[in-house]
Amino acid sequence: MTLPATPRNVMAVALAMLLLLVLVVLLSLTLGAVHVPLSEVWRALTARGGGSEATIIVLDIRLPRILLAILVGAALSVAGTGLQALLRNPLADPYVLGISSGAAVGAIFALWLGGRIASASPLAAFVGAMITMLWVYLLGRSGGRLASYTLILAGVITASFLSAIILFMLTLLSTRDVRGIAFWLMGDLSVTPLAELRLLAPVIILAIAGLYLLAKDLNVLLLGAEEAAHLGVNVPRVEAGVYILASLLTGLAVSTSGAIGYLGLLVPHLGRMLVGNDHRMLLPTAALGGAILLVLSDTLARTALAPAELPVGAVTAVAGAPVFIYLLRKTAG
Amino acid sequence: MTEALHHLRVEGVSFRYPHFELASLSFEAHAGEVLAIIGPNGSGKSTLLEIVSGHLGPQAGKVTLDGVDLHRLPPRPLARLVGLARQETILLFSFEVREFVRQGRHPHLGRNLFESPEDERWVDWAMEKTRLVEFAGRRVLEMSSGEFQRAVLARTLAQRPQLVLLDEPTANLDIGYQIEMFRLLRQLAISEGFIAVVVTHELNLASELADELILMERGRCLARGTAEEVLQPDLLSRIFRTPILVDRNPSSGRPRVTWVTAPR
């Protein structure tokens, strides 16, 4: 029997996962090209490390990256959960509506313009993502609402069109820039300074909270748009809200660290296997689960071929594909 | 528990699709009554039901419940008053039966994110009435279509509406459950004081258990009244395109519809 979504149960599950996250973070802080023992990590975190090399590694190099992994992992997983409910399709992922392609176009465009604009490529990527969000929204509307059929079509067509543009623009870039963008396209957590996290964190947290307020409506939406309307859900408004919040989360995640794959698709499924379909339980599970998995993936990306680094998207793909196949076989059988 | 007496008034509603027109229709119903809408396929029964539910705006006329125009209500207040259960689309996501029935409380949650103890009590009540308590932990996707229909009814009951609208609620039920569901509806309409309007193909169930029947054909109301008045063999034979005879159910005395077949 699934755990019913009561405030107490939701808190219990969230707390348990939060604890797990903390443990994973501590583990991750010790691992890397240089092994930092747990005692040193603890000292650094409690500001007793002084200027030691360990402290610098933990606080300036690893912690920001781990915090980014938490935010991006949560953002992508929650966006995926929301979109799967909106599209009533368990195969939806945050990129199916073209947001990541829009971000890539923005970033490549900035790189191509070069100079100072190139360094603002995350901002350009975000702008690209938001323009795509608006475009797909306008294109995908039908009968005053975001019917899943037209929305998916609009997204897929847009994504495909943008991919062509991306390939074209790549020919205009120098080979050095192309390598940089390739890394970014796969998903890369190594770039963001702590300052940007201060901007990113509240927005991501607020967007996730916004989706949580829609959780009970999302449950009913899964029954079908007509059935949801008969149960009092303001379907056009809820659809628009979920679409905007999920796209915002995806846009933020992708513009900071590229298109990390599989999280937005798989974490909601794993979450459903663990706690069921009630979004009041599923959303926190997906958020924290995504955070945990991305921190673990990034740790692997940093350590597998140390001192060289893999792009984290490569790890999620290599790990994600077999999990996806397993899930597919399980539901088919 | 009896609520205040409710009164449904449908006045002159009409609707036009590109290839179909629902002519001006009027009728009334009161608390504790079960109204059955019968007629051949394509006669506009489901369209009428949707208009009465407040979810499909008529091109003329209005529908009022206790004087309140249902089409002027926003979705949530409407869903607190009106429960509409139709043929459902297949779910791709699996819910447990109790979770599914609990969705019926959604219109009553208001600003709360979670159900209150009172909400849970109504869910238990609805599941008890539809004999689904033993299925509580079962997945909705694993149920037979008949069991699923009972779950849909339970969800509608959990809404505690004043107007219960059901579109073919017994379509997949065996004869035992068909009778049980209609009887339950009638019992609850009286005990809870709601108005039930049921679109059905089960002419004999309608005859036994409905207070009033509305017979439709091609968007028009051909007859309205008691089973005796409406179930006329000549009329039925014409509109259902097959010879029909009407006798009496020996146990209840109510009109009973049977089709005419040649002896084997």
The answer to whether position B1 is within a domain reads no
A49-75 tens-digit pLDDT = 677 777 888 888 888 899 999 999 999
CATH assignment at residue B211: 3.40.50.300
Q: E strands of B110-235, at which residues?
A: 163-167, 195-199, 212-217, 220-225
The answer to whether position B202 is within a domain reads yes
Interchain CB distance below 8 Å, B96 and A1: yes
B93-146 tens-digit pLDDT = 888 999 999 999 999 998 899 999 999 999 999 999 998 999 888 888 888 888
Of A28-37, A261-270, B30-39, B227-236, where does mean pLDDT reach its minimum? A28-37
Residues of B in contact with A232 (CB under 8 A): 75-80, 106-107
B158-201 tens-digit pLDDT = 999 999 999 999 888 889 889 988 999 999 999 999 999 999 99
AA letter at B68: V
Over range A205-224, report the average pLDDT: 95
pLDDT of residue A198: 86
- Residue A326 scores a pLDDT above 80: yes
Interchain CB distance below 8 Å, B55 and A230: yes
Residue bearing tokens 């912690």? A63
Interchain CB distance below 8 Å, A230 and B53: yes
Cα-based torsion angle of the residue sequence B176, B181, B183, B185 in order, rounded to the nearest 10 degrees: 180
Q: Do A200 and A71 contact (CB within 8 A), yes or no? A: yes
For residue A273, the distance in angstroms to the closest alpha carbon of chain B comes to 10
Interchain CB distance below 8 Å, A234 and B79: no
The answer to whether position B54 is within a domain reads yes
Residue B64 to residues B48, B106, B192, B200, B232, Cα–Cα distance (Å):
14, 23, 20, 23, 30
User: ipTM of this predicted complex?
Assistant: 0.89
How far apart (Å, rounded) are the C-alpha atoms in residues A325 and B228?
A: 62
How far apart (Å, rounded) are the C-alpha atoms in residues A76 and A74?
A: 6
Confidence of residue B1 (pLDDT cuts 50, 70, 90): very low
Over range A294-312, report the average pLDDT: 88
Interchain CB distance below 8 Å, B114 and A4: no
pLDDT of residue A1: 59
How far apart (Å, rounded) are the C-alpha atoms in residues A294 and A292?
A: 6
Where do the domains of chain A lie, and which CATH numbers do they carry?
7-332 (1.10.3470.10)
Residue B78: which of B90, B69, B91 has the closest Cα?
B69
Q: Which 56-75 residues of chain B touch chain A by CB within 8 A?
A: 74-75
Q: E strands of B18-172, at which residues?
A: 20-30, 34-38, 60-65, 68-69, 82-85, 163-167
Count of structural domains within chain B:
1
How far apart (Å, rounded) are the C-alpha atoms in residues A118 and A174?
A: 13
How far apart (Å, rounded) are the C-alpha atoms in residues A245 and A20?
A: 27
Confidence of residue B4 (pLDDT cuts 50, 70, 90): low
pLDDT of residue A49: 67
The answer to whether position B2 is within a domain reads no
Q: Kind of pairing, strands B34-38 and B195-199? A: parallel
Q: Kind of pairing, strands B244-248 and B195-199? A: unpaired
Domain that holds residue B141: 7-259
Q: Do A46 and A38 contact (CB within 8 A), yes or no? A: no
